[in-house]
């Protein structure tokens, strides 16, 4: 687990929370455990990655992203006018490698 702060009077301040779960050296090498990594920033955007070894030659990977978009410009209007849209737009990507 790690925390990163960026405080500034000139640029916008931000915060980043990072967590990862990996198999340690003390864990049994006989059993494959998943690798999980996640990160969230101060705007609420979440990025997560997971990797699973299904067998010796097959692995599965999933990537999940949740982005926070509070405002987006409405169609055919000035860029200075914004209307609230849905708070989060999720996306999921999965792949299996052989």
Domain residue ranges of the chain, discontinuous segments joined by +: 2-23+33-74+81-97
Burial class (CB in 10 A: 0-12, 13-18, 19+), 52: middle
Give per-residue pLDDT as tens, 5-24: 888 888 788 888 888 887 76
Mean pLDDT in the chain?
A: 69
Which residue bears the tokens 């000035």? 78
CA dist 63 and 13 (Å) reads 27
Residues of the chain predicted below pLDDT 70: 24-32, 68-98
**Contact in structure between 63 and 43 (CB atoms under 8 Å):** no
């Amino acid at each position: 687990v790690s925390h990163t702060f960026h405080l500034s009077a000139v640029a916008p301040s931000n915060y980043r929370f990072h967590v990862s779960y990996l198999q340690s050296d003390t864990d049994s090498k006989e059993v494959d455990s998943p690798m999980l990594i996640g990160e969230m920033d101060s705007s609420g955007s979440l990025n997560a990655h997971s990797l699973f070894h299904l067998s010796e030659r097959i692995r599965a990977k999933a990537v999940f992203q949740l982005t926070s978009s509070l405002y987006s410009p409405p169609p055919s209007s000035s860029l200075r006018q914004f209307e609230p849209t849905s708070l989060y737009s999720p996306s999921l990507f999965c792949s299996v490698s052989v």
